[in-house]
Chain A
Amino acid sequence: MSSRLRKYRNALMLGIFTLCTLLALIPLFGVLGYVVKNGISALNLEFFTSLPQPMGVAGGGMANAIVGTLILIAIAGVLGIPTGILAAIYLTEYDRVSWLSTLVRFTTDVLTGIPSIIIGIVVYTTLVMKTGNFSAFAGGVALAIIMVPLVIRSTEEMLKLVPQTIREAGYALGIPRWRTILRIVLPTAAKGILTGAMLAVARAAGETAPLLFTALGNQYWAHSLNEPIAALPLQIYQYATSPYKDWHRQAWAGSLVLIFLVIILSFVARLAFRNRKNF
């Protein structure tokens, strides 16, 4: 093979890879561009402060859906984040290498790949059917289940980064192991852990499928966690598939708000992570 041919081939392949990258960015700007363009023109104060109008009536907003999504991710966070962190503590502090921890790690990874609608089915057949109503709580539980494996994985990575010497210093001072873990190891890795948790929350915020059979949706404010509750993704789904122009407009606006929320959560998390200079 001549060296010229090899050089051409090299240039060609490198060109293809660059092209691939540019190609991959087209849909990003395509989607974001449309969402921003259609969303901004539809955003106004009413969108943030009003409840949805009756079907086919123009105007109204998504105030309840925005708050609903915040409530849902709060429930999911309160349930899912501590669970995930505790499980991760077990994997790093108590049982790093055994068949059990390998199994748990493996299951965690596999769990991240289970379709979220399956979680919706299971929460429906258990929680919703047992309690006898659709509820914000059921929706939050479904989202929490989706968050748990994400939290475990990221927390585990962060705890692994904590130098062993720090733990040993704790023991040397006569501090019991559990206090060492809670008071020394966790604080050291806290920023990284929160970053991972925020990313998990961001992921849960955009989920629609598991909410269909659990949170159901609500065109008004929910008065308790035992009632069906509105959520941004549900509302966008309903509005997007409707024939009403005004609802289409609001679906774009809702998407903009949702993406903004997700990006804020991940972006803030990432910034905090980047500045981590604890160790």
Chain B
Amino acid sequence: MKQNRASAGDTILRLLTFLMAVGVVGLIIWVGWEMFSSAKESINAFGWSFVTNRVWDPVKQNFGALPFIYGTIVTSLIALVVAGPIGLGVAIFLNEMAPGKVRSLISFLVELLAAIPSVVYGLWGIFVLAPLLRDYVEPWLEKWFGFLPLFQGSAVGLGMLSGGLILAIMILPTIAAISREVMAAVPDSQREAALALGATKWEMVRVAVLAYAKSGILGGVMLGLGRALGETMAVTMVIGNRPDILPSLFAPAYSMAAVIANEFTEATYNLYLSSLVEIGLILFGITLVLNAFARLLVWSVARGPKGGHLV
């Protein structure tokens, strides 16, 4: 009798937990399937030309995703160029240089940066960053680097540059935290070996730590990139929301997530809605592949992320 109850309880708990675990896999398949079936109409209508078409014209029912892909990639690259080296620097400082107390204080502060909601960054972007860029940074860039097409055009403050910089701030904690984590996984014997050979601290970091952790760091940077690609609110608020491909970083642009946020609930006919979902599907696909690849890289160095709450 008691035996039966015990095994029944075990069966139930095992089944329940199994269902939840498998449910996670099911969830991601379901999300992909749901997006795919809603995007079908647009896929059938435009085929591959959807990703190469640079026109987004709801009046003439002509939809192309290229401007959004372009805006997303450019802003994410700006973010990566700015946040990648800084994040790595922070990680090295924290893991290799900082004494215990400084380390825990600064890690706490960097985590705080990750805890600030996206919409608050957007608010700050509109009222602090954009005016700053408009009045000081962009005129300065135009004055000194205006010969490059990247830095021409009217300084409005809302555009790819502000979008990219906001993203840089937002992905910095991700890059710093994951890089630090994989550096922490580097065995001390590596460091000791380098130091024993008379290496300076920097040489030790370069030879022992970075060389050992490089694929994991790359993974961390890619996770940061993934976050930048999908970030919605802060970007929507500062990017200028204009589906166009312009060379200037000052120019307004549009990102994939932003166009969905703006137009999704109001697409007045099915093809329009379907095209928006297809943009979502592309975004889903890109982030899925990127994250999968990045996780494999991180796992290869530090098996299973420990501080997974950050990302």
Q: Chain A residues in contact with chain B, CB under 8 A?
A: 6-7, 9-10, 13-14, 16-21, 23-25, 27-28, 30-32, 34-35, 83-84, 86-87, 89-91, 93-95, 100-101, 103-122, 124-126, 145, 148-150, 152-154, 157, 176-179, 181-182, 196, 199-200, 202-203, 205-209, 212-213, 233, 236-237, 240-241, 248, 251-252, 255, 258-259, 262-263, 266
Q: Could you list 17 A-B pairs, sorted by A, with CB under 8 Å?
A: A6-B200, A17-B89, A19-B89, A23-B86, A24-B113, A28-B110, A86-B16, A114-B31, A115-B283, A117-B232, A122-B35, A125-B34, A125-B38, A196-B309, A237-B122, A255-B123, A266-B111
CB proximity of A193 to chain B, nearest CB, Å: 12
CB-CB under 8 A for A209 and B31, given A27-B113, A118-B280: no
CB-CB under 8 A for A248 and B109, given A153-B305, A206-B118, A213-B264: no
Q: Are B201 and A10 in contact (CB under 8 A)?
A: yes
CB-CB under 8 A for A149 and B202, given A178-B9, A212-B261: no
Q: In whole angstroms, what is the CA distance A257 to B93 when docked?
A: 32
Q: Are A115 and B287 in contact (CB under 8 A)?
A: yes
Is B306 an interface position by the 8 A CB rule? Answer: yes
Q: Are B311 and A113 in contact (CB under 8 A)?
A: yes
Is B176 an interface position by the 8 A CB rule? Answer: yes
Q: In whole angstroms, what is the CA distance A262 to B222 when docked?
A: 26
Q: In whole angstroms, what is the CA distance A255 to B169 when docked?
A: 17
Q: Chain B residues in contact with chain A, CB under 8 A?
A: 5-7, 9-10, 12-14, 16-18, 20-25, 27-28, 30-31, 34-35, 38, 85-90, 92-94, 97, 106, 109-113, 115-124, 126-128, 169, 172, 176, 200-203, 205, 223, 226-227, 229-233, 237, 257, 260-261, 264-265, 277, 280, 283-284, 287-288, 290-292, 294-295, 304-306, 308-309, 311
Q: Which A residue's beta carbon lies closest to that of B31?
A: A122
- Of B112, B232, B264, B284, the contact of A114 (CB 8 Å cutoff): B284
Q: In whole angstroms, what is the CA distance A266 to B142 when docked?
A: 42
CB proximity of B225 to chain A, nearest CB, Å: 10
Q: Are B109 and A111 in contact (CB under 8 A)?
A: no
Residues of chain B within 8 A (CB-CB) of A20 are 85-90, 93
Residues of chain A within 8 A (CB-CB) of B6 are 176-179
Q: Are A111 and B28 in contact (CB under 8 A)?
A: yes
Residues of chain A within 8 A (CB-CB) of B10 are 176-178
Q: In whole angstroms, what is the CA distance A205 to B115 when docked?
A: 10
Q: In whole angstroms, what is the CA distance A199 to B264 when docked?
A: 30
Q: Which B residue's beta carbon lies closest to that of A176?
A: B6
Q: Are A17 and B28 in contact (CB under 8 A)?
A: no
CB proximity of B4 to chain A, nearest CB, Å: 11
CB proximity of B54 to chain A, nearest CB, Å: 22
CB proximity of B5 to chain A, nearest CB, Å: 8
Residues of chain A within 8 A (CB-CB) of B109 are 25, 28
Dominant secondary structure at the A interface: helix
Residues of chain B within 8 A (CB-CB) of A83 are 20, 23
The 5 closest A-B pairs by CB, nearest first: A115-B230, A20-B89, A206-B117, A176-B6, A90-B17
Q: Which B residue's beta carbon lies closest to that of A200?
A: B309
Residues of chain A within 8 A (CB-CB) of B25 are 103-104, 107
| Pair count A-B, CB < 8 A | 285
Residues of chain B within 8 A (CB-CB) of A119 are 31
Residues of chain B within 8 A (CB-CB) of A125 are 34, 38, 277
Q: Are B34 and A94 in contact (CB under 8 A)?
A: no
- Of B20, B97, B265, the contact of A213 (CB 8 Å cutoff): B265
Q: Are B117 and A259 in contact (CB under 8 A)?
A: yes
Q: In whole angstroms, what is the CA distance A251 to B117 when docked?
A: 13
Q: Which A residue's beta carbon lies closest to that of B120?
A: A255
The residue among A83, A87, A154 with the most chain B CB atoms within 10 A of its own CB is A87
Q: In whole angstroms, what is the CA distance A94 to B10 when docked?
A: 10
- Of B126, B169, B237, B295, the contact of A106 (CB 8 Å cutoff): B295
Q: Are A117 and B230 in contact (CB under 8 A)?
A: yes
Q: Are B290 and A113 in contact (CB under 8 A)?
A: yes
Q: Are B13 and A181 in contact (CB under 8 A)?
A: yes
CB proximity of B103 to chain A, nearest CB, Å: 10
Residues of chain B within 8 A (CB-CB) of A118 are 31, 35, 230, 280, 283-284
CB proximity of B250 to chain A, nearest CB, Å: 20
